[in-house]
Amino acid sequence: MSGSALVEIQGLSKRFVKTLDLAGKLANKLGSSIREETVHALDGVDMTVAKGEVVGLVGESGCGKSTLGRIVAGILAPSEGRILYDGRDVAALAPAEAKAVALKAQMIFQDPFASLNPRMRVRDIVGEAPLVHGLVTRGELESYVDEVLLRCGLDTSFKRRYPHQFSGGQRQRIGIARALAVRPDFIVCDEAVAALDVSIQAQILNLFIKLREELGLTYLFISHDLGVVEHISDRVYIMYLGRIVEMAVTEDLFAAPNHPYTKALLREVPRLETRHSDFLPVEGEIPSPLDPPRGCHFHPRCPHATRRCGEEAPTLREISPGRQSACHLNDGV
């Protein structure tokens, strides 16, 4: 798989440090011991995305999935680890190459209200980047923007309008058009359909599938919604508190989850087919990433936790072909 990997992430970590303010520094001078707060958003994440593949990344709020998406899309810099794009280390590229690679990875955001500049017309939102990066000349721009808008299912007669004149679903289409306008290979969708009504969500999901077929796109599809991820992804990563806990081909994962967290998550997904269910939830909440539990991050909530789970963090390893899981239970302990 690594031969055809478009994006490969190795040992990626991201820490956000809240540095001490003046009062804190003064207090420390006077003898108190206030520490800087560090959030371990990502903790040694490995991931590969093959060309043309749709990879789902699932986790609950605060697990670091959006941080991972932003790093992969080049918006944030990692604290540790490497990102290989087409086999080349992104951090080691010459500036011109780095810029070309950055253009090839684009991102689509959750909130179609916050991610579009309210003071720009649709034509400029979609047309600005390709013009700046010299993908089209000013003369070709009009027809190029028309082409991108049509591809995303937008009426070209609307291109002189501002974002507030559109509905949520149409705005999300504008966001998609903006990402597509620079001819990317790889698109990170961060909760791209979470804010939309069900019938509009279906329209946008269908658009993603159509664009993938037409343009040969590769997606990293980040979502908390397992139903959506199951629908669109070829392979799924499950994340918990900064670590990948399980990875498998979509059918296998949903048919037989291995990690206790994945099991809990799948059991609790509301489905149309599940009627009059007895909700038997997993206890507790996601611990704060400021102070994650020792050992396996899931052990305080895990019904099968042993002493080892509280002491030693399990590594993500292959437990059967094409499936990785990070759980001590797989060692038969």
Residues binding other proteins (CB under 8 A): 60-61, 167-169, 197-203, 205-206, 209-210, 224, 226-228, 230-232, 250-251, 254, 264-265, 268-282, 285-286
**Residue 329 to residues 24, 58, 305, 314, 320: CA-CA distances in angstroms?**
44, 22, 9, 9, 14
For residue 283, report the phi and psi dihedrals to the nearest 5 degrees.
-75, 160
Nearer to other proteins, 106 or 250 (CB): 250
**Judged by CB, which is closer to other proteins: 36, or 283?**
283
Q: Are 91 and 82 in contact (CB under 8 A)?
A: yes
Q: Which amino acid is at 65?
A: K
Q: How far apart are CA 25 and CA 3, in angstroms?
A: 50
Is 63 or 90 the residue whose CB approaches other proteins more closely? Answer: 63
Which tokens sit at 10? 């190795």
Nearest Cα residue to 109 out of 168, 172, 154: 172
Rounded distance between C-alpha atoms, residue 177 and residue 84, angstroms: 26
Token code pair at residue 143 = 């027809």
Minimum distance from CB of 138 to other proteins (Å)? 34
CB of 167 to other proteins, least distance (A): 6
Q: Which helix (H) or strand (E) holds 104?
A: helix 95-104
Nearer to other proteins, 132 or 272 (CB): 272
Min CB(278)–other proteins separation in Å: 7
Q: Which is nearer to other proteins, 143 or 167 (CB)?
A: 167
**CB of residue 180 to other proteins, shortest distance in Å:** 19
Nearer CB in complex with other proteins: 134/273: 273
> Within the chain, what is the greatest distance between any pair of CA atoms?
68
* Alpha-carbon gap, residue 326 to 192, rounded angstroms: 28
We find the least distance from the C-beta atom of residue 58 to other proteins, in angstroms, to be: 9
Q: How far is the CB of 267 from other proteins (least distance, A)?
A: 8
Q: At which residue do the structure tokens 């089209």 appear?
A: 136
